[in-house]
């Protein structure tokens, strides 16, 4: 077992950590926004929106993420690019990763939002409406702030899952952390050093997410 | 109480389905196992069946057609086994598990366009070479690139952990930012045509095969004479002389009787 390969390939690992964080951050932000609208769509009184958003959630929740990544990277994005900008290069692998992770996260986050919103007593909405608020105002000012507090643990869970799932982007040669470790393992024939390092870094990152980010948010939005 | 009953029912259902699925799985495995050993024992006494591992994602050397493994290396290995008089059983292991399988003894022989390198020789034994390979650079038709050094600063696609990658690493450093190591060769060529990499470096056999397949796209193949010639060998675990001798014996026979050349011509033309 030769641990010096980690130092030798440190650039690959550092670049990998940065890209892993980038992938998670982008997917978290985009996924949360998209997820909010999808959850509202699923609860909409308009049958068409309900239908579209339900299909979206079932599609992205019901197919493996690895398949989604491959499909988006090798098929969907090149075809769209071919139509929009004929002859131009498709965006790099990391953009496929952004898209795939965001779309996937949105499906899960939409369900978390729906659960959170529906857990708020309908009397809250009625009371807000009777005070003269519009439906949108009541949702924004009364329902969502309360629901958000309840959703935080589940959302934290999803962010951690997202961070780990970003490792799947290695199959499309996105230079993230898992790609770095696999690459080092393949080129050096060392197995323990690269994969143990990778696992340790993921653990540090997820611990940071759960202990610092999520706990901090929970404290901030605590109602107690 | 009602909830309890439902819970119990669904548990029974889940466990039942699980058992059924696993039973089917192991049943299938068993039948395929007996099938293989059956064909082995039909020829006579308790003959050893050598498990040959490959990564069937490297056309035209080894590929999957429907559920059958085929390709140049497959034909070569089958011819060797026939000439050498031993039984083999194919296993599509994938690239990394192939090396792992040899280490652990679940695979006896590996044939998968494996280049004979000093690094690999430390851990494995190789047969005599059965194919001479050199690296080619795939670039756009109007590209000014004429040699490997011209690729500096460009994005280069390779199959991870192959000689193509080693060549690029040697030229531009182990952690060269533009180096994209794909899981398989077709993916890197895909991304070349999608414009995500500027060039692909890989073995002549595979890239020449693409020239045949994709004639409507614009590209060219460049040969850099600074690349060392390489040879593909059949790999066994270090010290497994029994398997190695049998392979070398068969290989010698098909080299002498022209069968190896015949297989080559079938895949790469006569040039």
Q: Where are the alpha helices (DSSP H) in chain A?
A: 4-8, 10-42, 47-62, 65-71, 77-84, 93-118, 122-130, 135-138, 144-165, 177-188, 192-207, 215-220
- Give the residue from A168, A188, A178, A182 showing the smallest Cα distance to A70: A168
pLDDT at B25 over 90: no
Please report, in tens digits, the pLDDT of each residue of chain A (224 residues total): 889 999 989 999 999 999 999 999 999 999 999 999 999 999 999 999 999 999 999 999 999 999 999 999 999 999 999 899 887 888 999 999 999 999 999 999 999 999 999 999 999 999 999 999 999 999 999 999 999 999 999 999 999 999 999 999 999 999 999 999 998 888 787 889 999 999 999 999 999 999 998 889 888 888 76
Residues of B in contact with A173 (CB under 8 A): 157, 160, 180-183, 187-188, 191
Residues of B with CB under 8 A from a CB of A: 96, 99, 119, 123, 157, 160-161, 165-166, 169, 174-175, 177, 180-183, 187-188, 190-191, 194-196
Q: Does residue A207 lie in a domain region?
A: no
Q: How far apart are the first and last CA of chain A?
A: 51
Q: Is residue A223 part of a domain?
A: no
Please report the pLDDT score of residue B179 as a whole number: 94
Closest CB to B181 among A15, A78, A173: A173
Task: Compute how many other C-beta atoms are within 10 angstroms of the C-beta atom of residue A108.
Answer: 20
User: In this structure, is residue A100 part of a structural domain?
Assistant: yes
pLDDT per residue over B172-202, tens digit each? 998 899 999 998 888 898 899 889 999 999 9
Query: Cβ separation of A173 and B190 shorter than 8 Å?
Result: no
CA-to-CA distance for A143 and A122, rounded, in angstroms? 9
Number of alpha carbons in the 13 Å side-chain half-sphere of residue B238: 8
For chain B, report the end-to-end CA distance as a whole number of angstroms: 80
Q: How far is CA B8 from CA A96, B2, B17, B19, B21, in A?
A: 44, 10, 14, 16, 20
Q: For residue A7, give both structure tokens.
A: 């130092």
User: In chain A, how many domains are there?
Assistant: 1
**Spatial separation of the C-alpha atoms in residues A117 and A112, rounded to whole Å:** 9
Q: With 90 as the cut, is the pLDDT of residue B40 above it? A: no
Residue of A nearest to B174 (CA): A9
The torsion angle over the Cα atoms of residues A123, A128, A129 and A132, rounded to 10 degrees, is 160
| pLDDT tens digits, A7-63 | 989 999 999 999 999 999 999 999 999 999 999 999 999 999 999 999 999 999 999
Q: Across chain B, where does the E strand assignment appear?
A: 49-54, 63-65, 68-70, 87-92, 109-110, 124-126, 131-133, 135-139, 156-159, 179-182, 199-203, 220-223, 230-232, 235-237
Q: Return the structure tokens found at A214.
A: 């999520």
Q: What CATH number should be reported for the domain holding residue A113?
A: 1.10.3720.10
Please report the pLDDT score of residue B41 as a whole number. 40
Rounded to an integer, what distance in angstroms lies between the CA atom of residue A124 and that of residue A138?
Answer: 9
Residues in chain A: 224
The continuous run of DSSP H or E covering A48 comes out as: helix A47-62
> Which band of pLDDT confidence, cut at 50, 70 and 90, is reported for residue B21?
low
| Beta strand ranges found along A68-161 (DSSP E) | none
Parallel, antiparallel or unpaired: strands B235-237 and B109-110? antiparallel
pLDDT of residue A223: 74
Question: Does the pLDDT at position B227 exceed 90?
Answer: no
pLDDT digits (tens, 9 = 90+) for B85-126: 999 999 999 888 899 999 999 999 999 999 898 989 999 999
pLDDT of residue B131: 93
A9: in domain: no
Integer angstrom CA distances of residue B254 from B79, B130, B220, B250, B269: 7, 10, 34, 6, 18
Do B62 and B112 meet the contact criterion of CB atoms below 8 Å apart?
yes
Q: What is the pLDDT of residue B27?
A: 43
Question: Higher model confidence: residue B86 or residue B25?
Answer: B86
- Domain assignment of residue A3, yes or no: no
Q: Which CATH superfamily is domain B46-132+231-268 in?
A: Periplasmic binding protein-like II (3.40.190.10)
Higher-confidence residue of B161 and B53: namely B53
pLDDT at B210: 73
A113 at the B interface (CB within 8 A)? no
**Dihedral pair phi/psi, residue A26, rounded to 5°:** -65, -45
CB B127 within 8 A of CB B114: no
- Class of CATH domain B135-228: alpha beta
pTM of the model: 0.72
Q: Where are the domains of chain B?
A: 46-132+231-268, 135-228
Q: List the domain range (segments joined by +) for residue A113.
A: 24-175
Whether residues B190 and A74 touch (CB distance < 8 A) is answered with yes
Residue with tokens 């605590």: A222
Q: What is the DSSP string of A184-219?
A: HHHHH---HHHHHHHHHHHHHHHHIIIIIIIHHHHH
DSSP assignment letter at A222: -
Please give the Cα distance from B198 to B190 (Å, whole number).
Answer: 12
The CA distance from B271 to B255, in Å, is: 18
Name the phi and psi angles at B102, rounded to 5. Answer: -65, -40
Q: Which of A108, A101, A103 is nearest to A22 (CA)?
A: A101
Q: What is the ipTM of this complex?
A: 0.78
pLDDT for B17 equals: 67
Residue B34 pLDDT class (50, 70, 90 cuts): very low
Q: Hey, is B141 helix, strand or coil? A: coil
Q: What is the pLDDT of residue B134?
A: 85
Asked if residues A180 and A188 have their Cβ atoms less than 8 Å apart, the reply is no
pLDDT at B267 exceeding the cut of 90: no
Closest chain B C-alpha to A87 CA, distance in angstroms: 9
- Beta carbons of B180 and A91 less than 8 Å apart: no
Give the model's pLDDT for residue A140. Answer: 92
């Amino acid at each position: 077992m030769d641990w010096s390969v980690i130092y030798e390939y440190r650039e690959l690992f550092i670049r990998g950590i940065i890209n892993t964080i980038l992938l998670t951050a982008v997917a978290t932000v985009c996924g949360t926004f998209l997820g909010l609208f999808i959850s509202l769509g699923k609860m909409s009184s308009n049958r068409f929106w309900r239908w579209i958003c339900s299909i979206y959630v079932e599609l992205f929740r019901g197919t493996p993420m690895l398949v989604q990544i491959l499909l988006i990277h090798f098929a969907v994005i090149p075809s769209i690019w071919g139509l929009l900008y004929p002859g131009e290069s498709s965006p790099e692998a990391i953009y496929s990763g952004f898209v795939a992770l965001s779309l996937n996260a949105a499906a899960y986050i939409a369900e978390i939002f729906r659960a959170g919103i529906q857990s708020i007593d309908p009397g809250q909405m009625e009371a807000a409406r009777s005070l003269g608020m519009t439906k949108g105002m009541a949702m924004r000012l009364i329902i969502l702030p309360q629901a958000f507090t309840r959703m935080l643990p589940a959302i934290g869970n999803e962010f951690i899952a997202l961070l780990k799932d970003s490792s799947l982007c290695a199959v499309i040669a996105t230079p993230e952390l898992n790609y770095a470790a696999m690459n080092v393992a393949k080129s050096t024939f060392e197995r323990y050093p690269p994969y143990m390092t990778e696992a340790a870094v993921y653990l540090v990152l997820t611990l940071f997410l759960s202990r610092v980010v999520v706990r901090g948010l929970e404290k901030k939005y605590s109602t107690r | 109480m009602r909830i309890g009953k439902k819970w119990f029912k669904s548990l029974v259902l889940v466990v039942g389905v699980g058992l059924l699925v696993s039973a089917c799985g192991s049943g299938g495995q068993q039948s395929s196992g007996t099938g293989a050993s059956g064909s082995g024992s039909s020829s006579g006494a308790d003959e050893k069946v050598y498990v040959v591992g490959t990564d069937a994602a490297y056309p035209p050397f080894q590929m999957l057609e429907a559920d059958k493994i085929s390709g140049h290396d497959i034909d070569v290995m089958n011819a060797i086994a026939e000439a050498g008089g031993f039984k083999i059983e194919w296993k599509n292991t994938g690239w990394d598990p192939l090396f792992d399988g040899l280490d652990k003894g679940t695979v006896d022989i590996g044939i998968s366009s494996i280049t004979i390198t000093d690094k690999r020789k430390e851990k494995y034994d190789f047969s005599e070479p059965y194919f001479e390979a050199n690296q080619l650079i795939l670039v756009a038709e109007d590209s000014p690139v004429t040699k490997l050094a011209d690729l500096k600063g460009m994005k280069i696609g390779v199959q991870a952990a192959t000689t193509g990658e080693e060549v690029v690493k040697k030229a531009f450093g182990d952690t060269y930012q533009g180096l994209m190591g794909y899981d398989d060769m077709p993916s890197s060529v895909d991304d070349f045509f999608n414009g995500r990499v500027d060039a692909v470096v890989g073995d002549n056999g595979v890239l020449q095969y693409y020239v045949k397949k994709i004639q409507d796209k614009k590209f060219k193949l460049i040969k850099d004479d600074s690349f060392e010639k390489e040879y593909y060998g059949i790999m066994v675990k270090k010290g497994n002389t029994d398997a190695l001798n049998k392979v070398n014996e068969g290989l010698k026979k098909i080299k002498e009787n022209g069968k190896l050349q015949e297989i080559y011509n079938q895949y790469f033309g006569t040039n």
